[in-house]
Structure 1
Amino acid sequence: MPTTTAGARTLGELSRYIRSKNAGPFWVTVDIFFDDDAAYDCVATSGVIVPELIADMYGVRPDQVKIFFIPDLQVVKVSYPRKTPQGSVGDRDMHAAQQFIPLQTVEIPVR
């Protein structure tokens, strides 16, 4: 279990489910699902999930990151370009199924 700062919880703790997948051969999409409005609102209004965070985590430029907050579905969707095209030499996660893992430990302040 990750250790969190006092007054914070990890994205993995706040979300119901986080998944990543290919969005074509050149992009990865991460979907973060929540069980209720309170958890979704906590993350959506925290100011933590921003292009600079994703860029730093995945080695892309912030202007390449797309983040969508979808309150009606209680989902945050993050897309960024793959470092290597799907299936090319050096691709270590062909389906991008493991790319969500670093996001689980991101700390979100809880009020």
Structure 2
Amino acid sequence: MTTLFDMCSLIRSKNAGPFVLTFDLMFSSKALYERAKRTRALTAQHMVEFYGVNEADVTLVYHDAALAIKASIPRPVIQSAKGDGDCYGGQQYVPLLTIEVAE
């Protein structure tokens, strides 16, 4: 089975302000992007399972022109508040690497 790690040229996470994390999945070809889109390779349920957020708080956007999927969730801790272990949100993407994508 192919993973998102295998299909993307870039997977990253970062802050979208102090209250939101955003995840960018950029695909290395139109065919791989279309496959991910068709099979719903990334879902709100993935974000719920990996990050413990409410499904209603997950935003998923498909950018056809950029061959990219963007997901946004509330930060579990406000940026730089006590207990924030990733001030820039740059390490939060790792669980997405292992998502398996159907043919």
Same fold (TM over 0.5): yes
Q: TM-score, normalised by structure 1?
A: 0.90
Query: What root-mean-square deviation, in Å, do the aligned CA atoms of Structure 1 and Structure 2 show?
Result: 0.8
Alignment counterpart, residue 2 of structure 2, candidates 9, 15, 25: 9
- Residue aligning to 1:67: 60
- Residue aligning to 1:24: 17
Identity across aligned pairs (percent)?
33
Residue 97 (structure 1) aligned with residue 90 (structure 2): yes
The list of structure 1 runs, each at least 4 consecutive aligned residues, that deviate by more than 6 angstroms after superposition, is none
Q: TM-score, normalised by structure 2?
A: 0.96
Structure 2: distance between partners of 1:76 and 1:47 = 10
**Where does structure 2 lack aligned partners over 5 or more consecutive residues?**
none
**Where does structure 1 lack aligned partners over 5 or more consecutive residues?**
1-7
Residue 37 (structure 1) aligned with residue 37 (structure 2): no
Q: Secondary structure at the match of 1:13?
A: helix
